[in-house]
Amino acid sequence: MTTYVLVPGAWKGSWAFDAVVPLLERDGHAVHALTLTGLRPDDDTAAVATANLDTHADDVLRHLDHHQLDDVTLVGHSYAGMVIAAAADRAGGRISRLVHLDAYVPRDGESCWSATNDHFRQVFASGAATTGYAVQPPAGGDPRRRPHPLAAFLQTIRLTGAFAQVPRREFVYCSGWEDRTPFAALRTRLEADPEWQVHDLPTAHNAMHESPESVAAILLDEHESALQPTNRAHRAP
């Protein structure tokens, strides 16, 4: 049995993985989908205003501690690539596999702001104009989305090197929104890195909604028949 911890991206809660969770659970796996501080329906203004990247990494670590989880497959979508990198770096070897699902894969000293593109920097800046501390979700999309703590986008990550020691690290590139994706250069970088396995999905950014079966297939290691990953020769054991 595998233990999965799923971390949603900006503006979203655990509901972002609603279509994926049952596909993992039906095979008997343990699945934990999180909602980060500041994104919960009952979070007050102070929670949103003070939450940052460290807060969100601590959310993951507290969940591991509370449920006594080890040998975890930690999955992060979009912004949560920052979160799972920070959490894995501090988790003391409890993470056995990282899956960055169309998500940032930061280097030490980077932030979501520095790692993204001009399109999303404008989204962050304009979205925070009203309060100065919370980024409103872009127009349209799921009505359950909530304002995202601006500090979480701006705080730089500090990595000790433990993140790079996670035995298995994977990146999923969603190619169906190439007009706006901030991850094209990242995909190129990771394809050239033998310590990473790169998968391509032909979906837009929210692959969990558009093709939950394909996302589950990657997580369940059934993707050989579902898609053609790159870097296959360099797959970690």
Residue 236's pLDDT is what? 29
Beta sheet of 95-101, edge-to-edge order: 30-33, 3-7, 72-77, 95-101, 168-174, 196-201
Residue 229's pLDDT is what? 40
Residue 165's pLDDT is what? 97
DSSP-derived secondary structure letter, 46: H
Q: Measured between alpha carbons, how far is 100 from 139 in angstroms, rounded to an integer?
A: 25
Cβ neighbours around 79 below 10 Å, total = 25
pTM: 0.93
Hey, what domains does the chain have and what are their CATH numbers?
3-234 (3.40.50.1820)
Residue 231's pLDDT is what? 39
Q: Measured between alpha carbons, how far is 152 from 146 in angstroms, rounded to an integer?
A: 14
Segment-wise mean pLDDT, segments of 10 residues, the chain, 237 residues: 98 98 97 98 97 98 98 98 98 98 98 98 98 96 97 98 97 97 98 98 98 98 53 32
* Residues in a beta bridge with 98: 74, 169
Q: Is the dihedral of CA 151, 153, 157, 163 positive or negative?
A: positive
Residue 237's pLDDT is what? 27
